[in-house]
A and B are shown apart, each in its own frame.
Chain A
Amino acid sequence: MPPNPILNNSTVSTNAPPETKAVNQRHLNVALQHANIIEQRKKVEAQVLESIIALMDFPNSPDADPKRPSASDATLFREHLVLFQPSDYDSLIEERNIADKCGYTLCPRPKKKTRSGAKKQFVDTERGVEIVDKKVLEVWCSEDCAKRALYVKVQLNEEPAWTRPESYGEKIELMVENPEEHHKVLPLRLKSENLTPTPTKPSEEDEIAAAWLARDDALADLAIERGEKPGRLSKASKDLMTANIKERVASATPPVAPSLDDQPSQAHMAIEGHVPRENRRDQQLDEEDDTEDWDRHLPG
């Protein structure tokens, strides 16, 4: 019978992948929370890109008027803009210019062409003649469009959409000359009229149900106030913050101030765990004993 190898039977490989089980459920939750935030950021960036691609070829009809845009165009434009940062808006203008369009999204005209192809141009201003980059001149089709486009830009939120407390009540206003048309289209939230109080007395069950409903409503309102939208990632992480409320119960005996007698230990006098002889509480007793002993042994 061959000798049994002693060393070979331990088959634990140092290269084995680490155990997948998280050390702590909490670690896993934290990791997930952060992963979700990154995921959301990627989603927002992709959405911004899609919006820019969509807005590049705006408006769809060639005879649209930037001063009096159609209501559908305006709402679409505003919806796309919600996630934008000013820098994203600048990219949009850049892309539109490359596509040879006026920088203002609601304007169908091509951008202005300078008279000569030179890189720098002379421009007459109030302060005399200025030399301006050709690029700066060829952004808009007219002063008016520039004004309207910048009016939108200043309203955009500097904070990136994935960190902002989500656009509660954020609404981008457009500079238009037919505002009455646009207000009609806006989905105004009218108070529902069908909730007229019924003359019959509600039963108790109904009242309870109504109370729960009211609570749900209040929670939803609270979430919106916190800056959340339905369907989006909640800012208040339910996994990381556990709301286990413990009542603090008053004990029956009233609290008493500590007294010296309660602490038989002399820890406060100890030097590295040793209590010097002079400071010992029972020092005096010992001394008395000693003197007695000494007396006892005295001759006579």
Chain B
Amino acid sequence: MQLTDFVVPLIVVGIFVYATVKRVDVFSVFCEGAKEGLQTCADILPALVLLLVCVGMFRASGAVDALTELVRPLCSAVGFPAECMPMVILRPFSGSGAMAVYNGIAASNGVDSFAERVAAVLLGSSETTFYTVAVYFSSVGVKKTRYAVPAALTADLTSWIVCGAVVTLFFGAG
């Protein structure tokens, strides 16, 4: 048993209890929300098919392995699994693409491996930066986003180093 084992049950129970106190119709509101979740899954499926095929082809050809070996010296210098580099590069561009890359890493390195955990943390702690910037600024008709992209990418392109270090700290090096 770990402390993190409490997080999910506590959130579930906490929200239900709080909502009941606030006289929310938990059952019907939950179902309404769950339906949105179902919709999301259906919405991402076409993109997921395309991206899983593309990423899968790239992986099956052996090109990913070759590129991984290419960046391995740089990555191992900072304790980052080279297998996760495609994730760092693709994450700011495409959410479904990052999901596809994650799935490939989990399949070839095994779930609960160092590389798989690093990939999951990267996926969970970042956003589709270019998409977000585009949506937010196009909503107000601003084309020149000045330093928005550089500032956001400063975070995206340095957090992978932190990510490798943090996962090593919690789970040991791969």
A and B associate in one complex = no
